[in-house]
Structure 1
Amino acid sequence: MTALAKASPLSIADYLAGEEVSDVKHEYIGGTVHAMAGATNRHNVIATDALVLLAVQLRGKPCQPFNGDTKVRIEFPDHTRFYYPDAMVVCHPNPATDHFQDQPVVVIEVLSESTRRADLGEKRDAYLTVSSLKVLLLVEPDGASVTAYRRRSEGGFAVEHYDGLEAAVPLPEIEASLPLAELYARAEIEG
């Protein structure tokens, strides 16, 4: 019996070069790449509205939002990961020629059924290791509900829940907020 050869890990340089010309986005985890599934229209409407709400509130301020085409690089002692959050806010951006950011302050992930397990596990845990991160927002696509992981001054993260169209996620870390009525205004959700 012949043993199958193990594929060599893809270098970071090769991954980044490939993403520049690829029609499909890929996340990178320690040398392996994973194609990203397409999102629903509702998912994209919510992600776009989050970005627009933040862009309007951050105009003229030092922090700036980035859309889902910009990766976050997360460095672990033994490997590197690149994820594409749906939106993020960065106060100390990488050079304009980079295709990723290293220091997000706010990360927004709109959940989806196909990626829920990874979003609530591996990705959430990885984002929470980023030293610059102040708030991670996990946004439900089918109802007005957002879970926030907010960095505490004494260390670690507090979990906060915002439910219903009358709620708003405060983001004093960047002098902004996300009213759920506006975040979900065009998402065609019930209640």
Structure 2
Amino acid sequence: MSLSQSHLYLSPEEYLEAEKSSFIKHEYIQGRIYAMSGASDAHVTITTNLIALLRNHVRGTGCRLYATDMKARIEALNIFYYPDIMVTCDRRDLDCEYFKRYPCLIIEVLSPSTEAFDRGDKFIDYQELETLQEYVLISQTRQRVDCFRRNPEGRWVLYSYRGNQELQLISINFSCSLADIYEDVSFN
């Protein structure tokens, strides 16, 4: 997310209408919009690899996979974010054309400019989504994935994956090697 913002207050309805014709994506936080910046080769490659792996996995399950251009709405906080990848298995989300309210899984590929926000305030905001079971943060500078999973008591537990380990996503009964996620990614 870019630090530049509009100082104009927009209602959620005004934001959604403006976003339909905007050439630039904006996230919406309590009436203010923030322009989204472009992504690096590693970011796009990781996201594409995961889309390919997850799409085939959720096919026919009733779950839907959304990537980069679908908004997650956190209604209680008056926020719309664009996660890199989001999965919803909740039929209520079929009624929303431009955003989803009930994801079970959200994945963000970390960028140097967004990592602190993704790990901090954005994660706190996402915790308001009662259906969210896993929040996954993927490094693009080294082979590391952090998966925050909500336990039965409602607490978030961190599961870190490195090297040649298998990533486990309990929310959609999925696993894959980190090598598959990082295929064709070059680390400096």
The question of a shared fold, defined as TM-score above 0.5 by the shorter chain, is answered with yes
Q: Distance in 2 between matches of 1:36 and 1:15?
A: 14
SS at match of 2:120: helix
2:22 maps to 22
- Quick check: 1:56 aligned with 2:52? no
Which residue in the other structure is 2:139 paired with? 140
C-alpha displacement at 1:96, in angstroms?
Answer: 6.0
Structure 2 counterpart of 1:116: 115
Aligned to 1:160: 159
**Pairs aligned (count):** 181
* Residue pair 1:50, 1:178 contacting (<8 A) in 2 also: no
More moved, 59-68 vs 139-148: 59-68
Task: Measure, in 2, the Cα distance between the counterparts of 1:106 and 1:177.
Answer: 13
Using the TM superposition, give the Cα deviation of residue 10 of structure 1 relative to its aligned residue in structure 2, in angstroms.
0.4
How far the C-alpha of 1:114 sits from its partner, in A, is 1.2
Match of 1:82 in 2: 80
Percentage identity across aligned positions?
A: 36
The Cα shift of 1:153 comes to: 0.7
Is 1:10 the counterpart of 2:10? The answer is yes
Displaced runs of 4 or more, over 6 A: none
What are structure 1's unaligned runs of at least 5 residues? Answer: 1-6
C-alpha distance in 1 between matches for 2:153 and 2:12: 34
Match of 1:4? none
Q: Deviations over 1:60-87 (max 9, x none)?
A: 21212111100000022xx410000000
Q: For residues 27 and 59 of structure 1, do their structure 2 counterparts lie closer, same or farther at Cα, with a shift above 3 Å needed?
A: same
Q: 1:96 to 1:140 in 2, by over 3 A?
A: same
Contact 1:87–1:109 (Cα < 8 Å) also in 2: yes
TM-score between the two structures when normalised by the length of structure 2:
0.91
Counterpart in the other structure of 1:174: 172
Deviation string, structure 1 residues 127-182 (Cα, Å, up to 9, x no partner):
12210001000000011101111010122111110011x11111232121232110
* Partner Cα distance (2:158, 2:134) in 1: 10
Structure 2: segments with no counterpart, 5+ residues: 1-6
Q: Distance in 2 between matches of 1:66 and 1:105?
A: 12
Structure with greater Cα Rg: 1
In structure 2, the residue corresponding to 1:107 is in which secondary structure?
A: strand
Taking the aligned partners of 2:86 and 2:95, their CA distance within structure 1 comes to 16
What residue number does 1:189 align with?
Answer: 187
SS at match of 1:95: helix
Give, in whole Å, the separation in 1 of the partners of 2:146 and 2:175.
14
Structure with greater helix percent: 2
